[in-house]
């Protein structure tokens, strides 16, 4: 699917920060534009104090890269920019360079739906320095948000314990783009459907919905409204029962349910959108069962999230289906993932890769240098640890030592015998040509569910999860440590 083409009909090359353009110009001016470099996109902390994160957004990344170019209006906009003295900000020759530039990078990435963790590269871009740099902002924009929402959805679905979770967030989402991306990411994270009809069309996500309070209010009585809705949708009838009085609303739904049976149809259930959901769902369940509707579902909505759902589960609320909106699509309790995109290596004139590092007083902000790969160790179908290593250290060993990137005292020895070693980074583009077959949205969602099954329940706890071990292979750890010491000594000279 051509997401950007379908929605925007043009170039998105200027969907970037201005300093990316100025750096591109400075690279070109200094003769470094076509130097080959590798950048890694990664995040430093799991969101929502979670023990895991679900990668999402790769389909958008692929679409962006395939369509990456500066069109005539982009180039004219840049050409018209002026310095403070009135001179052109960018030379005409640079504008021509951008005009002729064709995407030619290698891109590797973890597949959507993969469970990922801090510090590991989830997208790796290798190519001309200018192109790699110009991709930073849009890739972060895409991956940050969709990964955040997919993770939130997965947590909500874990709390629902197998009950269907419907994504109802369109009206509260952050604009059109945010709504579409959130619907897509929510489905990847485990939601069963969306209320967003455009997302259903664009992405192939099942759509669902009932009716609003305004439907009830437009009739003289609730019974009349229910009957009219049942006439319109005899096989998809879930009645919203809390417009006036929830218990009376259930009674009216039951009355219309009997009427539907006379017509040869069956009421699917009721929805409660306000009040004490535990209390009213329990009463509604008893009323429906006693009336002969044991199969009728009870759908709950009203600012739900994983914590409220967990509480309702503890209270043994009689809820079968959960409609989740605002707190899912806005990532209400953590509005940003905080992924970053850092230079990891540059190729010199001899074709050798020179690792690059950014040093900080905060250990969590010291990046991992070099051209990296990520290996997942799996035993009997269960993930036991992830290792970040250099490409040249991928050869199978009898055992490995991995070292936590932020605390070198945390180390884990792994014997590779009887273990499956799974490389997580997959080739997506080679020299600008797509080599990856994009799976269906259903396959991506299934991949997320399969990935989550690989991890112990302790890592998926909503509160105070057990930390899954992710570490640097010892050679990479030594290279990183030596580079940090070298840079600090240089600063102190």
Cβ atoms within 10 Å, residue 24: 22
Cβ atoms within 10 Å, residue 209: 15
Condensed to tens digits (0 to 9), the pLDDT of residues 216-251 reads: 999 999 999 999 999 999 999 999 999 999 999 999
CATH of domain 3-150+335-370+425-458: 3.20.140.10
Distances (CA, A) of 450 to 73, 161, 180, 383, 426: 45, 15, 24, 11, 18
pLDDT value of position 334:
96
Longest dimension (CA), the chain: 90
Cα 47 from Cα 156, distance rounded (Å)? 13
pLDDT value of position 493:
39
Which segments of the chain belong to CATH 3.20.140.10?
3-150+335-370+425-458
Residues in Cβ contact with 116 at an 8 Å cutoff, skipping those fewer than 6 apart: 52, 53, 54, 55, 110, 122, 147, 424
Which segments of the chain belong to CATH 3.20.20.70?
151-329
Q: What share of the chain is helix, strand, coil (3-state, %, to 5)?
A: 40, 20, 40
Binned average pLDDT, 10 residues per bin, the chain of 493 residues: 56 95 98 97 98 98 96 97 97 98 98 98 98 98 98 98 97 95 98 98 95 97 98 96 98 98 97 97 98 98 96 98 98 96 97 92 86 96 97 79 94 90 97 98 98 98 97 96 84 44
DSSP E strands in 329-410: the ranges are 340-347, 353-355, 372-379, 382-390, 399-403
Condensed to tens digits (0 to 9), the pLDDT of residues 281-331 reads: 999 999 999 999 999 999 999 999 999 999 999 999 999 999 999 999 999
CATH of domain 151-329: 3.20.20.70
On average, the pLDDT of the chain sits at 95
pTM: 0.95
CA dihedral 207, 211, 213, 217 (to 10 degrees): 150
pLDDT value of position 392:
84
pLDDT value of position 145:
98
- List the one residue out of 309, 357, 315, 356 whose CA is nearest residue 154: 309
């Amino acid at each position: 699917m051509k997401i950007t083409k379908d929605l925007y009909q043009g170039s998105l090359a200027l969907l970037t920060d201005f300093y990316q353009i100025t750096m591109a110009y400075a690279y070109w001016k200094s003769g470094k534009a076509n130097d080959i470099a590798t950048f890694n996109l990664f995040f430093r902390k799991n969101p929502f104090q979670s023990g895991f994160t679900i990668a999402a957004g790769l389909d958008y990344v692929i679409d962006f890269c395939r369509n990456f170019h500066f069109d005539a209006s982009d180039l004219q906009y840049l050409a018209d920019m002026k310095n403070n003295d009135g001179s052109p900000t960018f030379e005409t020759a640079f504008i021509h360079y951008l005009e002729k530039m064709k995407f030619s990078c290698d891109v590797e990435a973890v597949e959507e739906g993969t469970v990922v963790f801090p510090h590991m590269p989830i997208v790796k871009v290798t190519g001309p320095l200018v192109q790699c740099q110009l991709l930073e902002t849009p890739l972060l924009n895409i991956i940050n948000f969709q990964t955040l929402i997919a993770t939130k959805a997965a947590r909500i679905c874990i709390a629902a314990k197998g009950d269907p979770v419907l994504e109802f967030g369109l009206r509260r989402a952050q604009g059109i783009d945010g709504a579409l991306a959130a619907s897509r990411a929510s489905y990847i994270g485990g939601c069963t459907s969306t209320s967003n009809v455009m997302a259903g069309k664009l992405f192939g996500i099942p759509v669902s919905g009932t009716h609003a309070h305004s439907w009830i209010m437009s009739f003289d009585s609730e019974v009349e409204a229910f009957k009219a809705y049942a006439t319109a949708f005899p096989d998809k009838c879930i009645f919203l029962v809390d417009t006036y009085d929830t218990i009376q609303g259930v009674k009216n739904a039951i009355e219309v349910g009997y009427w539907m049976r006379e017509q040869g149809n069956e009421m699917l259930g009721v929805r409660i959108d306000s009040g004490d959901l535990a209390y009213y769902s329990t009463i509604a369940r008893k009323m429906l069962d006693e009336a002969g509707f044991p199969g009728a579902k009870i759908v709950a909505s009203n600012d739900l999230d994983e914590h409220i759902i967990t509480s309702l589960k503890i209270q043994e609320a009689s809820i079968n289906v959960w409609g989740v909106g605002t707190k899912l699509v806005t990532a209400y309790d953590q509005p940003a993932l905080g992924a970053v995109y850092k230079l990891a290596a540059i190729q010199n004139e001899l074709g050798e890769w020179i690792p690059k590092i950014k040093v900080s007083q905060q250990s969590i902000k010291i990046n991992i240098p070099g051209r990296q790969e990520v290996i997942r160790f799996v035993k009997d179908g269960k993930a036991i640890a992830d290792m970040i290593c250099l490409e040249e250290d991928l050869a199978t060993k009898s055992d490995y030592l991995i070292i936590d990137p932020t605390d070198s005292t945390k180390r884990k020895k792994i014997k590779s015998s009887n273990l499956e070693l799974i490389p997580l980074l997959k080739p997506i583009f080679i020299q600008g040509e797509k080599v990856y077959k994009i799976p269906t949205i259903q396959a991506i969602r299934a991949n997320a569910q399969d990935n989550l099954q690989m991890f112990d329940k302790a890592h998926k706890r909503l509160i105070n999860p057990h930390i899954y071990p992710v570490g640097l292979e010892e050679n990479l750890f030594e290279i990183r440590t030596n580079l940090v010491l070298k840079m600090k000594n240089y600063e102190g000279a």
